[in-house]
Amino acid sequence: MNNKKRIAIIIFLLILIPFFSVQSKKQDIWRDRSDEIKMRASNFNQNIISFLSSRGNSWLIGNQNNLYYINKQETINLTDELKNNKLQNIRKITTDGETWLILGDTSIWNKSPDLLYRFNGVQWYDVSFLLKEIDFDSLQDFKGTRGTWYFISKNTVFVWNETSHDIQKINFPDYIKKHINYSTRIKFYKVNKGWILTLEKKNELNTLIRQHDCYDKYFYYLYNEKFIDITKDFYNIDNNSIIGTNGQEILIFGLAFSSSKEYPKFYALVSNGEQTKNITKKIKYKFNLKAPLTQMPFFNQGKIIWTGSDWVILDGMKNFFWLNSKTWQIKFKKTRDTFLNAGYGGLNSILLSGFRSNDFIKPLLVEVDFND
Q: Is the pLDDT of residue 27 over 90?
A: no
Q: Is the pLDDT of residue 46 over 70?
A: no
Distance linking the first and last C-alpha atoms of the chain: 42
Question: Does some domain include residue 336?
Answer: no
Q: Is the pLDDT of residue 14 over 80?
A: no
Q: Is the pLDDT of residue 355 over 80?
A: yes
Question: Does some domain include residue 118?
Answer: yes
Q: What is the mean pLDDT of residues 25-31?
A: 79
Q: Is the pLDDT of residue 15 over 50?
A: no
Q: What is the mean pLDDT of residues 32-47?
A: 69
Burial class from Cβ neighbours inside 10 Å (0-12, 13-18, 19+) for residue 258 reads: exposed
How many structural domains compose the chain?
1
Q: Is the pLDDT of residue 106 over 90?
A: yes
Question: Does some domain include residue 153?
Answer: yes
Predicted confidence at residue 297, as pLDDT, reads: 78
Question: Does some domain include residue 252?
Answer: no
Q: pLDDT: is 139 or 27 the higher one?
A: 139
Tens-digit pLDDT profile for residues 61-71: 999 889 999 99
Percentage of the chain beyond pLDDT 90 is 60
Predicted confidence at residue 21, as pLDDT, reads: 34
Q: pLDDT: is 371 or 195 the higher one?
A: 195
Tens-digit pLDDT profile for residues 146-181: 999 999 998 899 999 999 889 999 999 999 999 999
Question: Does some domain include residue 244?
Answer: no
Q: Is the pLDDT of residue 325 over 80?
A: yes
Predicted confidence at residue 116, as pLDDT, reads: 96
Predicted confidence at residue 5, as pLDDT, reads: 58
Q: Which of 71-85, 228-242, 278-292 has the lowest mean pLDDT?
A: 278-292
CA dihedral 12, 16, 18, 19 (to 10 degrees): 150
For residue 109, the enclosing domain spans 53-171
Q: What is the mean pLDDT of residues 186-215?
A: 87
Per-residue three-class SS string for 166-212: CEEEEECCHHHHCCCCCCCEEEEEECCCCEEEEEEEECHHHHHHHCC
Question: Does some domain include residue 2?
Answer: no
Tens-digit pLDDT profile for residues 119-144: 999 999 999 999 998 888 889 999 99
Q: Is the pLDDT of residue 293 over 90?
A: no
pLDDT tier for residue 203 given thresholds of 50, 70 and 90 = confident
What whole-number distance in Å separates Cα of residue 216 and Cα of residue 195? Answer: 20
Mean pLDDT for all residues in the chain:
87
What whole-number distance in Å separates Cα of residue 253 and Cα of residue 270? Answer: 9
Question: Does some domain include residue 316?
Answer: no
Q: What is the mean pLDDT of residues 295-315?
A: 89
Q: What is the mean pLDDT of residues 93-97?
A: 95
Predicted confidence at residue 158, as pLDDT, reads: 96
Q: Which of 107-111, 119-123, 128-132, 354-358 has the lowest mean pLDDT?
A: 354-358
Handedness of CA 43, 61, 39, 298 (dihedral sign): positive
Q: What is the mean pLDDT of residues 324-352?
A: 90
Beta-carbon neighbour count of residue 29 at 10 Å? 11
Percentage of the chain beyond pLDDT 70 is 89
Q: What is the mean pLDDT of residues 51-61?
A: 92
Question: Does some domain include residue 34?
Answer: no
pTM of the entire predicted model: 0.88
Q: Is the pLDDT of residue 16 over 50?
A: no
Q: Is the pLDDT of residue 259 over 80?
A: no
Predicted confidence at residue 20, as pLDDT, reads: 34
The answer to whether 291 touches 273, Cβ cutoff 8 Å, is: no
Q: pLDDT: is 290 or 129 the higher one?
A: 129
Predicted confidence at residue 182, as pLDDT, reads: 87
